[in-house]
Structure 1
Amino acid sequence: MNDIWEALLKAVSLVLTLDTDLLEIVGLSLQLSLTAVGISLLIGLPLAALLALTKFPGRKILIVATNVFMGLPPVVVGLIVYVILSRSGPLGVLGLLFTPTAMVIAQVILVIPIVTAISRQVLEDYHQEYDELLTSLGVSKMRRISALLWDARFALTTAGLAGFGRAASEVGAVMIVGGNIDHLTRVMTTAIALESRKGDLVMALALGIVLITLALGINLAAYLITETAKRRYAA
């Protein structure tokens, strides 16, 4: 028990003193996760708007598929990306396997369904609320989409935060395609798994503290954004 407390105190010390190795791992994790979320928003928001505001053959199938893909097993995604990027795969010539780019690709595949599904529901609700008003004003389809995206910006930010939480906490897919290479592809989740197996509880606990802090920060941000939106529409 004393050893655990000692390791915990040392872990807190690493966080407070901004240990170089710790900062490198955390920095890479944030860089990759934010990049993946940014790409996912660029793809997911237009797709969500398409599904929410237009009617076309196969729309319901796409909506169901998006909801199903929210539960994609990360290790399966990692395996698929690994096969595609491996030397014998169709994109093996690019040499992306075991690089940060491969990790971003895997995270994007995992995050897009989350961003799309949440954003579609949000935009669909807003569209139902403002449809008659926008129709009476003769607002074009593109301007309607722009107006709804702007009005729903607080709720859509929550979708982005949910996607970031998924990306930052992912371990299975990024471990497979990234290889957990020191100073290259080692992120918080993979480092925690490695350090735990090595018995280095200090670094594992330090990274765990940072990861938990990020998770709390994301949930707090989502709560504050929701409350801000409620006050805005109540005013």
Structure 2
Amino acid sequence: MNDFRQSVAAALALIGSFDSELIGIVWLSLRVSLSASLIALLIGTPLGVWLAISRFRGRQVLVVLANALLGLPPVVAGLMLYLLLSRSGPLGFAGLLFTPTAMVVAQVMLTTPIVVALVHRPVSVLWAEYADLARTDGLSHLRSVALLISLGRASLLTAFLAAFGRAIAEVGAIIIVGGNIRGYTRTMTTAIVLETSKGELSLALGLGLILLSLSVTISTLAFLLVGRVGEK
């Protein structure tokens, strides 16, 4: 019990002193995860809407695939990306392996299916309601997509929240493609794993408390925004 109290006290002291290493890790985690979530939103939103309003051969296969990829193991995604970015891989010339950019790409791979699935479902319902109106007004597919995105703003916030939650808590893929390099590619989750294995519980616990606080804060803000959108 005394060890636990000492670890908590040391963790709080680190947070209160704005320890430079801790702040650097938190900042990199936010930068990587927010970038990946925004990119996933930009890619997944039009794809989800397109799958909801289009009718073509193989559409259902793509919908099933998007939902199946929700369970894509992070280590498998990381391994696939590692093979692509390694020196002997087809994209090795880019020199992206063990960089924050590779970590963003890995998280985009994991979060885009989440956005596609969470946008497709509610937009399908909206399209069933507004399809006749769109056809009557002669709206093109592009304008229909814009209309549904506007009507489904709350769903976009939910999709972004889910994507960010997956990204900020991810460990396996970013360790593989990022290398967990101190001061360069070390995020909150990878640092917690490393510091815990070393027995350095104060930094691990401090990062864990910050990660938990960030998750709760962002979830609260997102739900408040969803409520405001729903009132309009």
TM-score by length of 1: 0.94
> Once the two structures are aligned, what percentage of the paired residues are identical?
49
Letter of the 2:141 partner, please give it.
K
List runs of 5+ in structure 1 lacking aligned partners.
Answer: none
Letter of the 2:55 partner, please give it.
K
TM-score by length of 2: 0.95
Q: For residues 42 and 226 of structure 1, do their structure 2 counterparts lie closer, same or farther at Cα, with a shift above 3 Å needed?
A: closer
Letter of the 1:13 partner, please give it.
A
Structure 1 segment 128-207 matched on structure 2, within 5 A? 128-207=128-207
State how far apart, in whole Å, the 2-side matches of 1:57 and 1:180 are: 43
Task: Report the CA distance between 1:14 and its aligned residue.
Answer: 1.8
Contact 1:165–1:218 (CA<8 Å) still a contact in 2? Answer: no
- Aligned partner of 2:32 in structure 1 is 32
Letter of the 1:217 partner, please give it.
T
Give the match's secondary structure for 1:96.
Answer: coil
State how far apart, in whole Å, the 1-side matches of 2:79 and 2:140 are: 43
Task: Report the CA distance between 1:216 and its aligned residue.
Answer: 1.1
State how far apart, in whole Å, the 1-side matches of 2:155 and 2:221 are: 12
Contact 1:100–1:178 (CA<8 Å) still a contact in 2? Answer: yes
Give the match's secondary structure for 2:71.
Answer: coil
Task: Report the CA distance between 1:141 and its aligned residue.
Answer: 2.1
Q: Deviations over 1:61-94 (max 9, x none)?
A: 0000000001000011111111111111111122
Structure 1 segment 70-85 matched on structure 2, within 5 A? 70-85=70-85
Task: Report the CA distance between 1:49 and its aligned residue.
Answer: 1.5
Task: Report the CA distance between 1:6 and its aligned residue.
Answer: 1.3
- Aligned partner of 2:122 in structure 1 is 122
- Aligned partner of 1:226 in structure 2 is 226
Query: How many pairs does the alignment contain?
Result: 232
Contact 1:158–1:225 (CA<8 Å) still a contact in 2? Answer: no
List runs of 5+ in structure 2 lacking aligned partners.
Answer: none
